[in-house]
Amino acid sequence: MEPSTAQAYDACLREALAQMGEWIPRWLKDVQDLLYQKEGAASQLREKQGWMEARTALESQRQFLSTRILETLAESVGNALPELAPPSRKLDGLSFGELELMGDDQVQEKVEEARVLQVIKIAADDDLVDLNARMCRAKGHAQVRPELNPLRSEIVTRALIKAINGIHAPAAVRNTWLQTGALLLGKELAAMYVRLGRLMDTWGVAPADYRVVTLNESRSPAVSPSQRDERAVEAVTPGAATGSQAPVLNLDQLHKLLVGNLEQQGAGPAGTGLPGSGNAMVRNLAAEVVTLMLKSIAEDQRLLPPIRSLLLDMKPALLQLASSEPRFFADRQNPARRLLDAITERSLAFSSEYSGGYGKFADEVHEIQRALEVPGADLPERFERLLARFIASQVTALPPSQILARGKAVKTLVRVEQRNLLAERVAAEFQARNDFESAPGVVRRFVEGPWAQVVAQARIDAADMDAGSPTDSPAVRYVHILPDLLWSTHLGTASQNRPRLIRVIPNILRTLREGLDSIDYPRADTETFFKALMGLHEAAYKAQRTDLASEGPASVRRQEATQTWMQPTEAKDSGFMEDMELDTQPAFVNTEPMARDPREMDALEPLLPVGTWVDVAQEGEALRCQLDWASPHGTMFLFSTAQGRQLSMSRRTLERQLLQSKVRVVADHGLVDDALDKVTRQAWINSVKVAEAGETEPGTL
């Protein structure tokens, strides 16, 4: 029986694991045979011994390794879906900060992983295209999202490396297995992708649609299987297919530059490709890092063109600094690095050259650039002075009144968060009452909403005055009114005791109005509730039957979480955006989806880090704001513009606007960090393409 489209996804995964159980042992046997062939063809004793060591180690552990790989693959396939696990870093993703913390062995291991992945992708990914499309359709997506396919080559490669690295064998032996078997593995994966695609076709699963991008330069001629194999061999064979001079900066050199291990390497060019002394090598590498970093910054479209041009004009000064302080870009406390961070961070406040305050900012950056052009040996001290002047100008950019307004907004939001968190606990107390569920829905929603806010505010006021809880205090009276309120609105019971009903109604109305006035609850909403309440009281007084039912069973009543609520003055002080469906404003177009759905995040996990720049849809326009402050419990967020305007949101509103693309993240970390990550990426690519001298023997790094 053929599975339905909804069942085809799971059936395909089961079939893939079954096929892996067949070809993984075959692949390991093929790798062993290939190692034997290389051993026989080796002409040098050392090379022959390397191949023999790898072959005998694989022969002794082949069965165990096969089981281990299959187990790891099964686990990885199950955990690879975005909805089942947070996204993990790809093999080809490495940040500048991570590289600085790694050891030499870890760097080489990452390079080898990248080489193996490149070989497998070249050999297999052309045949993965159709399967990706069918897997996405089976998941119910109209357009292709490759990350939804847990059988993609990155997942398989990661599982393979994890399994092999868990085997008790020398690192050189494990690397030889990976390098020797990469192309064979790519071919096995490609064949499996073809079989699975045909199988899903027989099940009636049509491919999802790809987004078509018409770019002439993106078109490339079809690649035959033999050409693919040649490209894959070149990718994994050190030193192959390098028609030009080897790139200067590779990952190993960048890592050594960061940790300070290059000065001791002397003048020998072997293994480095660089002439001159160790110190000259450091300066040359530092200059290349600065050049690549500025190139990346110059291409960053989040910066306005004039600012990018001014930053590029600082290149001579930065190159001069690199000759004396070659690691300044890695030291976050270095004045030059801090100045770059400060300028690029502040530039994000302006979405166009017509934004308020941009002209003054651009003039300041221009003055900094001109000051750095002046020749002299005092360049490090000059960077420090310019940084101090720039920071001082930013501090004084806003008038004192706006600085005070920000402090007032923060204080207000802290108070609002405190009251709302307490109101949630108060609402839970009310919901646990025995008489709560029997009340009409309009009363239940009032009690767990506005009235919980009233009681929370009263308790906070009592705590601030340190007055304790006397029986006539508002905090006590507002809770004691609940039995009469809930009883009086239950038609079946209240109608049987009209004298009590007449006696309690005046006190109920008086106490409710007093409480709502204490939190400045909107008059219109107050009157709306009172109208409904008096209607219930009138119905109870006139009722003749005692079997009147209350509004619906509790299981089907509308469930409302306690919403973030502010007094009108609090909302004004903090620029608060109400918790409501904001579907009338247009969302941003061409917005990339967030890496994670905010609804999947832990309630205590920050939605955005403080300092994030965003565009907020306001009255049909994009308002550029920075997340200036987040409350201690992560329920309130304060944004501000370059002109000092305050805008606050609750977590619920921010989640909804992120999902609806009405808040678009511009940058959630430094642009210089991004640029240095791209430098690391380029060094990684250079390491994969070009081998160090002496890497042609098996097992060498």
Residue 213 pLDDT greater than 70, yes or no: no
Q: What is the mean pLDDT of residues 332-350?
A: 94
Q: Element (H or E) spanning 617, and its range?
A: strand 613-618
Instruction: List, as own/partner pairs, every contact residues 325-328 make where C-beta atoms lie below 8 angstroms and the sequence separation is at least 24, other chains included.
Output: 325/380, 326/257, 326/282, 326/283, 326/285, 326/286, 327/257, 327/258, 327/260, 327/286
The rounded percent of the chain whose pLDDT value lies above 90 is: 38
Residue 87 pLDDT greater than 60, yes or no: no
Distance CA 452, CA 342 (A): 45
Backbone Cα Rg of the chain:
34
Looking at per-residue pLDDT, the higher value among 588 and 28 belongs to 28
Per-residue pLDDT tens digits for 143-153? 888 877 888 88
The torsion defined by the Cα of 672, 677, 680 and 686, in degrees rounded to 10, comes to: -110
Per-residue pLDDT tens digits for 41-84? 988 888 889 899 989 999 898 889 999 988 888 887 766 544 43
Residue 245 pLDDT greater than 60, yes or no: no
Distance CA 474, CA 483 (A): 16
Q: What is the mean pLDDT of residues 633-639?
A: 92
Looking at per-residue pLDDT, the higher value among 28 and 212 belongs to 28
> 624: closest CA among 586, 666, 662, 674?
666
Phi/psi at 700 (nearest 5 deg)?
A: -90, 155
- Residue 176 contacts residue 167 (beta carbons within 8 Å): no
Res 348: pLDDT: 94
Per DSSP, helices labelled H in 519-585 are 523-542, 568-574
Single-letter amino acid code for the residue at 328: F
* Best-predicted range by mean pLDDT (220-224, 259-263, 666-670): 666-670
pTM comes to 0.71
Of 195-209, 503-517, 574-588, 672-686, least confident by mean pLDDT is 574-588
Q: What is the DSSP string of 477-532?
A: HHHHTHHHHHHHT-HHHHTT-HHHHHHHHHHHHHHHHHHHHHTT--HHHHHHHHHH
Residue 483 pLDDT greater than 80, yes or no: yes
Kindly tell me the burial class for residue 397, based on how many C-beta atoms sit within 10 Å of its own C-beta (0-12, 13-18, 19 or more). middle
Of 421-435, 499-513, 606-620, least confident by mean pLDDT is 606-620
Residue 442 pLDDT greater than 60, yes or no: yes
Res 165: pLDDT: 83
- Indicate the pLDDT class of residue 262, thresholds 50, 70 and 90: low
C-alpha angle 686/692/695, rounded to 5°?
125
Residue 224 pLDDT greater than 80, yes or no: no
* Best-predicted range by mean pLDDT (84-98, 147-161, 193-207, 225-239): 193-207
Residue 520 pLDDT greater than 70, yes or no: yes
Res 25: pLDDT: 92
Distance CA 382, CA 374 (A): 10
Distance CA 30, CA 62 (A): 11
- Residue 454 contacts residue 430 (beta carbons within 8 Å): no
Q: Element (H or E) spanning 615, and its range?
A: strand 613-618
Q: What is the mean pLDDT of residues 351-364?
A: 91
Residue with token string 């219930």:
536
β-strand 663-667 against 646-650: which pairing, if any? unpaired
The torsion defined by the Cα of 380, 383, 388 and 392, in degrees rounded to 10, comes to: 170
